[in-house]
Structure 1
Amino acid sequence: MTETEIREPTFLVLAALADGRKHGYGLITEAEALSHGRVRLKVGTLYAALDRLGQQGLVEPAGDEIVDGRLRRYFALSDAGAAVLAREADRLEQNAREARARLLLRPQGLLPGLGRANVVEGVRP
């Protein structure tokens, strides 16, 4: 995988797998929770992403189970996927630090409702 940024849905899928294997619906609900409801993956989109991530060596199959007569396919984060996720998290943190530092230099002052401590700490109002 190249060292380019990854899209938010891909980041969320990798992050959802960081703490252990998950099946498709579990990934959909975890991505939605991680994004505070901003991202709701569709089933087709998720499985296309999982196929692509599998081909890139970032995600690997982690078993199948039959639950209530339905097949659940599980996926796990590979070591390469963990490395990509860590790099992307570092990149995003660095960008956020730079943005906060520049907000502190804003001539008009901070945005209404956004105190100095919130910018420095990265806390949402």
Structure 2
Amino acid sequence: MSKREMREPTFMVLSVLAQGPQHGYALLAETKRLSEGRVALQPGTLYASLDRLREEGLVIVVREEVVESRLRRYYDLTDAGAEELHQEVKRLDANVRLAKASLQLRPAGGLA
């Protein structure tokens, strides 16, 4: 992955996988729950994202099983994926610190 900012859906998927292996449907549900509904991925979007993340070496398929005649793949974060997530957390944290400091410098009763 490049060093550009990570899109929120990717951030949420990697964050969910940081908790441990998940299959696609669980990733959809947990991403929506963790984001408090802000990120509601469609299955096609999720699987395209997972394919891209696999190509980038950030996630891997750790096992497959057949459930009700359908293939279920379980994905997990690689060490590289965990590092990408860690770097993005650091970037976001720095942005939050900057914004908080800027807000503290804002004069009381400033323009609305």
User: What is the TM-score of this pair, normalised by structure 1?
Assistant: 0.83
Counterpart for residue 23 of structure 2: 23
Residue matched to 1:78: 78
Q: Which amino acid aligns with 1:23?
A: H
Map 1:34-113 onto structure 2 (within 5 A): 34-109=34-109
Larger RCO, structure (CA 8 Å, separation 6 or more): 2
CA RMSD, 1 decimal: 1.3
Distance 1:12 1:109 in 2: 37
For 2:20, the aligned partner's letter is G
The total of aligned residue pairs comes to 110
Code of the aligned partner of 1:63: R
User: For 1:108 and 1:101, how far apart are their aligned partners in 2?
Assistant: 14
- C-alpha distance 73-109 of structure 1, shift in aligned 2 (>3 A): farther
- Taking every aligned residue pair, what percent have the same amino acid on both sides? 55
| Structure 1: 5+ residue stretches without partners | 111-125
Read off the aligned partner of 2:3 and give its amino acid letter: E
Q: Helix, strand or coil: the match of 1:11?
A: helix
CA distance in 1, matches of 2:101, 2:21: 37
- Paired amino acid for 1:69: S
1:101 and 1:59 mapped to 2: Cα distance? 35
Q: Which runs of 5+ in 2 are unaligned?
A: none
- Residue identity matched to 1:32: K
Q: Secondary structure at the match of 1:72?
A: strand
- CA deviations over 1:73-118 (Å, ceiling 9, x no partner): 11010110000000001110110111011111112458xxxxxxxx
Q: Report the AA paired with residue 12 of structure 2.
A: L
Q: Distance in 2 between matches of 1:58 and 1:45?
A: 17
TM-score calculated relative to the size of structure 2: 0.92
